[in-house]
Structure 1
Amino acid sequence: MQTPHPTTDASICSDRVSAAVILAAGKGTRMDSDLPKVMHMVAGRPILDWVVDAAEAAGVTRIVLVVGYGQELVREAMADRKGVSFAEQTEQLGTGHATLCAESEVGDADDVLVLAGDGPLIQSSVLVRLLATHREASAAASLATACIDEPTGYGRIVRDSAGHFAAIVEQKNATDEQLRICEVNPSYYCFDRKSLFASLHGLRPDDTGGEYYLTDVPGILRTQGHHVGLLDEVPQEDVLSINTLQQLAKVDEILRNRLAQSATGGLA
């Protein structure tokens, strides 16, 4: 059955080369399974399949999957996908470290999407707009954001007095005022390649867990005087994460409904 992602003409964005780094190295400890998290099935296909589909439909021709736990299963499942390569994260040292592991596979791409491999509700139309606005603004980084009713657990998007990006603040570090912010980070990033990897090479580990976080990079770039763009266009439904079997079942239901709508012409 066809996916609900519309095919996208990559030329609408520009002739710049885009790559996508999809983070797929985690186990998913709350899933009560030995399967890699991204290999759990939703609507009849692995979670990761939906994310790769979205990147391809957005016109991305170079896709790097960062693998770790259970990587043999991931590699086997993705073996027939054209334009897909793999980078191994041998130690689980955070999202920043995982992204850095993909540097050589990204090559000379101009723009780099960084996406979570466990977010199958992602829609290609949002990625198309993210790439386009990123390029139009000549930004060093651009983030697609969402305003949701229940932001607990998500990183908050803090804006300055002019409405521009100021920081991503994780739940555990947020002040009472910041906890009232409903605009969150669903982990849809677009970076200028050189800016991204220069920042990643300079990242310092978190004081508590010793991990390197990708969420620090936009703030670093802003501090250096680079433009960091925001695109508040991610539908609230798409932000639903998969950390439990109950959430897996909910996402499965949503995707099956989308497939049914697509089959009847109801999904653009």
Structure 2
Amino acid sequence: MERLMAIILAAGEGKRMKSKKTKILHEICGKPMVEWVYQCVKNSGVDEIVLVIGRNGEEVKEYMGNKVSYAKQEQQLGTGHAVIQAQEYLENREGQVVIMYGDMPLVTSNTISLAVDYHKEKGNAATIITADFENPAGYGRIIRNSQNEVVEIVEDRDASCEQKKIKEINSGIYCFDISALRDALKELDNKNDQGEYYLTDTIKILINKGLKVGAVKIEDREELAGINDRIQLAEAAKVLRKRILNKIMASGVTIIDPDSTYIDSEVEIGMDTIIYPSTIIKGETKIGEECIIGPGSTIENSKIGNRVEIKNSVVLESCIDDETKTGPFAYLRPGSNVGKNVKIGDFVEIKNSSIGDGTKISHLTYVGDAEVGKKVNLGCGVVVVNYDGQKKHKTIIGDNSFVGCNVNLVSPVEVKKNSYIAAGSTITDEVPENSLAIARSRQVIKENWVLKKGLLKKD
């Protein structure tokens, strides 16, 4: 049975990144670049993927897990040598194998599918993805004969003056017949100035055998960019970010200023939502319809309902239900679940708490490890004192309760439903249902105290 395989070459050390992290694990728009390459080939219909890793490949294995098979290239002896390390996966298989690099996150699955389809249609032993570059310096050149057939790939350093003028370059992405590649690898040698095994030499071997080699030239040269340093990483991020935002806008979302908006690839946003400038939406966030998000908001791995407003606020690993207004300058920390038609106002911080429908927490309040019921009002400056220095404790506030300004709720404590707490109280004991709790000292006035102390200030 024929198979479509892929070998991703990812053993390079990436020294120009100047990082302790393996190059292909550097993130772009929420995913490591190797994940972009993996999804590209996976979405093109590939059955099996082999990842060639280097000496420091354990962190790559830890991230990729069992999604791929692995081959290890202990020594960096060229691209052909890297493919040879994966040769065991080519044995006793028929079909096609796509070979590409793990640091090319801009390649699309459409381009891979186009090359594979062309390869099969023409009956090629190998097909190369190429493009015309205005400045092809550093790239291998595609040499064609008078019939426009590919006859050779010449590396830039080996090219003659005439060959250097050729603009069609080798992208380093190939589709091979598995059996043809398997045989060509057996004849590969390192008799060159670098002492390395070049994958491009397999093209020459196949042509010398009289086998057919073709090329698919693509128009979008951006797809073929490799990432070698932080500058190129940022440039690739711009391209991917534009693709993501264009897709979101095409689905019915308004993005006021795409240049200042950062949205990860896995984010889902409903129709008629408006995203204002300087907003960052990360991870697997899902946002409903007719929402207003931003300006200046950050949302990460959260679920947002319909007709929600989030202004100048941070929402992390939390859920906000329909028609709730958040911000400006609110902070929802992980584990927060906010109900419908809730108001979370300015400088309110919520952590690991549930907030019932219709509740209002208008400003300058901290709610941590708490269960707040429906239609509760928390006044300005309310603090849930959830930490005793060793453990976190829970506070429960029942439905329809009113908590006045500058109240401390010392956990663990429960305020039953329909209760009132007077402003300035420190609550340490349960407040019964339908009660008013007052926990503050009686006001004392000492007349003329300022004069007796000699503290009166002259005008």
Q: What TM-score, normalized to structure 1?
A: 0.89
**Structure with greater strand percent:** 2
Match of 2:204 in 1: 219
Aligned residues between the structures: 250
* Cα displacement (A) at 1:80: 5.1
Paired residue type of 2:2: R
Match of 2:65 in 1: 79
Aligned-partner Cα distance in 2 for 1:100–1:245: 30
| RMSD (CA atoms) | 1.5
Residue identity over aligned pairs, in percent, reads: 38
Aligned-partner Cα distance in 1 for 2:94–2:12: 25
Match of 1:92 in 2: 76
**Structure with greater helix percent:** 1
Question: Which protein has greater RCO, CA pairs closer than 8 Å, 6+ apart?
Answer: 1
Paired residue type of 2:99: V
Q: Please state whether the residue corresponding to 2:111 is helix, strand or coil.
A: helix
Aligned-partner Cα distance in 1 for 2:55–2:74: 9
Q: Please state whether the residue corresponding to 1:78 is helix, strand or coil.
A: helix
Structure 2 unaligned spans of 5+: 252-459
Aligned-partner Cα distance in 1 for 2:246–2:191: 44
Runs of at least 4 residues off by over 3 Å: none
2:168 paired residue among 183, 199, 215: 183
Paired residue type of 2:62: E
Q: What TM-score, normalized to structure 2?
A: 0.53
Paired residue type of 1:116: Y
Paired residue type of 1:224: K
* Cα displacement (A) at 1:69: 3.2
* Cα displacement (A) at 1:152: 1.1
Q: Pick the structure with greater CA Rg.
A: 2
Q: Deviations over 1:55-79 (max 9, x none)?
A: 0010001000001132111101101
Match of 1:26 in 2: 12
Paired residue type of 1:101: Q
* Cα displacement (A) at 1:185: 0.8
Q: Deviations over 1:19-46 (max 9, x none)?
A: 0000011111211113222111112211
Aligned-partner Cα distance in 2 for 1:99–1:210: 16
Aligned-partner Cα distance in 2 for 1:65–1:127: 17
Match of 1:39 in 2: 25
Cα distance, 1:192–1:234 mapped onto 2, change above 3 Å: farther
Aligned-partner Cα distance in 1 for 2:176–2:48: 15
Aligned-partner Cα distance in 2 for 1:234–1:30: 28
1:207 paired residue among 169, 192, 197: 192
Match of 1:156 in 2: 141
Match of 1:261 in 2: 246
1:193 paired residue among 139, 154, 178: 178
* Cα displacement (A) at 1:106: 3.7
Aligned-partner Cα distance in 1 for 2:61–2:95: 26
Match of 1:165 in 2: 150
Q: Deviations over 1:78-108 (max 9, x none)?
A: 0153xx1111112111110111111222451
Q: Please state whether the residue corresponding to 1:264 is helix, strand or coil.
A: helix
* Cα displacement (A) at 1:207: 2.1
Q: Do 1:26 and 1:69's aligned partners in 2 also have CA atoms closer than 8 Å? A: no
Q: Do 1:140 and 1:195's aligned partners in 2 also have CA atoms closer than 8 Å? A: yes
2:231 paired residue among 246, 249, 254: 246
Q: Please state whether the residue corresponding to 2:203 is helix, strand or coil.
A: helix
Cα distance, 1:80–1:203 mapped onto 2, change above 3 Å: closer
Match of 2:118 in 1: 133
